[in-house]
Amino acid sequence: MHGSIQKKSRNFEGLSNKFIISLSIIALISFLLAFFYIPIVRIFQTALSSDSGTGFKVFWETLSDPFNLKFLGFTLLQAFLSTILCLLIGLPVGYFFAKYEFKGKKLIINLLTIPFVLPPVIVLIGFTVTYGQGGWVNLLWQNITNSSNVLITIDGTVQGIILAHVFYNLSVIIRLTIPAWQNIDNEQIEVSSTLGVGKGKTFQKIVFPQIKNAIISSSLLVFIYTFNSFAIVMKLGNFNFYTLEVLIYESFDLLKFSEGASLAVIQLVINSLVIILYLVVERKSRKMAEGKEKGLKTERLTFKGKDWKSIVSLSLSIVFVFIVIIFSFAPIIAIIVKSFIPKSPGDSPFWGYSQIFTQQKITPLNTNTIRLFGNTLLFATVAAVISLILSVLIVFVLRNRYQSIKKYQRSISESLVSYLIILPMATSSITLGLGLYLNYSGLNSYYNSVWIFIIMSHVLISIPFVTRSILVAYNRIDVELLNVASSLGASRVMIFRKIEFPLIKRGIIVGGIFSFAISLGEFGATFLLARANYETLSIGIYNLLGSQTLQISTAMASVLILITALCFYLINKFGDIELKV
Amino acid sequence: MVKVKINNLSMKYEKKLIIEDFELEIVDGELLVLLGASGCGKTSLLKIIAGIIEPEGGTIIFDEKDITNYTPQKRKVGYVPQAQVLFPHMKVEQNISFGLEAHKLSKEEIKERITWIAEITQIQDLLDRFPSEISGGQKQRVALARALAIKPNLLLLDEPLSSIDASGRESLALTIRRIQKETGITTLYVTHNQEESRLISDRVALMYDGKIQQIGSVIEVDRTPRNYLIAKIMGSSNVWPVEYLETEDGSSLVSTPIGLITLPYEIKRKITGIRIPPSSFKIVHDLSEDDKMIEFIGRIKSIIEKDDENFRIVVDLKDAHLEYFKVDCNKEMLNIASAANKELQLHVLPSEVILI
Q: Which tens digit of pLDDT belongs to each residue from B171-196?
A: 889 999 999 999 999 999 999 998 89
Contacts of A495 in chain B (CB under 8 A): none
Q: Residue A293 contacts by C-beta under 8 Å, 6 or more apart in sequence? A: none
Beta carbons of A545 and A128 less than 8 angstroms apart:
yes
CA distance B50 to chain A (A): 7
Nearest residue in A to B87, CA atom: A481
Query: Sign of dihedral through CA atoms A352, A357, A360, A366?
Result: positive
Q: Residue A440 contacts by C-beta under 8 Å, 6 or more apart in sequence? A: A39, A446, A453
The residue extents of the domains of chain B are: 4-233, 244-355
Helix-strand-coil percent breakdown of chain B, rounded to 5?
30, 35, 35
Q: Out of B13, B51, B88, whose CB is closest to A487?
A: B51
ipTM beyond 0.85?
A: no
* A536-554 core/surface letters (b: 16 or more CB in 10 A; e: else): bbbbbbbbbeeeebbbbbb
Estimate to the nearest angstrom the gap between the alpha carbon of A170 and the chain centroid: 12
Residues A8 and A128 in one domain: no
Beta carbons of A432 and A252 less than 8 angstroms apart:
no
Q: How far is CA A233 from CA A2, A123, A160, A306, in A?
A: 71, 12, 9, 47
Domain around A466: 1-39+344-581
| pLDDT tops 70 at residue B290 | no
Residues A422 and A566 in one domain: yes
Residues A325 and A352 in one domain: no
Long-range contacts (CB closer than 8 Å, 24 or more residues apart) made by B335-341: B336/B283, B336/B285, B337/B283, B337/B300, B337/B313, B338/B300, B341/B299, B341/B300
Q: Cβ–Cβ of A405/B54 closer than 8 Å?
A: yes
Q: Cβ–Cβ of A503/B88 closer than 8 Å?
A: yes
Question: Residue A200 corresponds to which amino acid?
Answer: G
Average pLDDT over residues B338-346: 72
CA distance B327 to chain A (A): 42
Residue B261 — very low, low, confident or very high, per pLDDT cuts 50/70/90?
Answer: confident
Residues A288 and A268 in one domain: yes
Beta carbons of A513 and A465 less than 8 angstroms apart:
no
**pLDDT for residue A406:** 52
Burial class of residue A532, CB neighbours in 10 A (0-12, 13-18, 19+): exposed
Residues A80 and A152 in one domain: yes
**Considering the domain B4-233, what is its CATH architecture?**
3-Layer(aba) Sandwich (3.40)
Q: Cβ–Cβ of B66/A503 closer than 8 Å?
A: no
Q: In 10 A of CB B301, how many CB atoms?
A: 12
Estimate to the nearest angstrom the gap between the alpha carbon of A501 and the chain centroid: 26
Q: Cβ–Cβ of B73/A487 closer than 8 Å?
A: yes
Average pLDDT over residues B293-309: 81
Q: Out of A2, A484, A498, whose CB is closest to B79?
A: A484
Taking the C-alpha atoms of residue A257 and residue A260, their distance in angstroms, rounded to an integer, is 5
Estimate to the nearest angstrom the gap between the alpha carbon of A351 and the chain centroid: 33
Q: Cβ–Cβ of B81/A9 closer than 8 Å?
A: no
What phi, psi does A392 have (nearest 5°)?
Answer: -60, -40
Query: Helices A66-99 and A105-117: crossing angle, nearest 10°?
Result: 170
**pLDDT for residue A3:** 38
Taking the C-alpha atoms of residue A307 and residue A270, their distance in angstroms, rounded to an integer, is 51
**pLDDT for residue B297:** 84
Estimate to the nearest angstrom the gap between the alpha carbon of B106 and the chain centroid: 40
Q: In 10 A of CB B133, how many CB atoms?
A: 11
**pLDDT for residue A295:** 66
**pLDDT for residue A49:** 79
Residues A274 and A420 in one domain: no
Q: Residue A196 contacts by C-beta under 8 Å, 6 or more apart in sequence? A: none
Residues A96 and A35 in one domain: no
Contacts of A494 in chain B (CB under 8 A): 101-102
Residues A326 and A400 in one domain: no
**pTM metric for this prediction:** 0.84
Residues A558 and A523 in one domain: yes
Residues A533 and A486 in one domain: yes
Q: Out of A405, A480, A494, whose CB is closest to B83?
A: A480
Q: Out of B65, B69, B81, whose CB is closest to A484?
A: B81
pLDDT of A223-261, one tens digit each? Answer: 999 999 999 999 999 889 999 999 999 999 999 999 999
Q: What is the CATH number of the domain that holds A409?
A: 1.10.3720.10
Residues A233 and A351 in one domain: no
Q: Which of A5, A409, A477, A484 to mutate to test the interface with B (most CBs of B within 10 A)?
A: A484
Q: Cβ–Cβ of B74/A6 closer than 8 Å?
A: yes
Strands ordered across the beta sheet of B273-275: B239-241, B273-275, B354-355
Contacts of A480 in chain B (CB under 8 A): 81-83, 85
**pLDDT for residue B109:** 94
Contacts of B70 in chain A (CB under 8 A): 6, 9-10
**Final residue in a domain of this structure, among A339, A374, A405:** A339
Give me the number of domains chain A comprises. Answer: 2
Contacts of B85 in chain A (CB under 8 A): 478, 480-481, 484
**Final residue in a domain of this structure, among A287, A313, A339:** A339
**pLDDT for residue A78:** 96
**Final residue in a domain of this structure, among A339, A361, A396:** A339
| pLDDT tops 80 at residue B13 | no
Q: Which residues of chain A have pLDDT under 50?
A: 1-11, 403-404, 407
Side-chain-side CA neighbours of residue A413 (13 Å): 14
**pLDDT for residue A6:** 41
Residues A140 and A267 in one domain: yes
Q: Mind giving me the DSSP string for B16-41?
A: EEEEEEEEEEE-TT-EEEEE--TTSS
Q: Are strands B211-216 and B203-208 parallel, antiparallel or unpaired?
A: antiparallel
Taking the C-alpha atoms of residue A54 and residue B10, their distance in angstroms, rounded to an integer, is 58
CB pairs under 8 A between A and B: 90
Q: Cβ–Cβ of A6/B67 closer than 8 Å?
A: yes
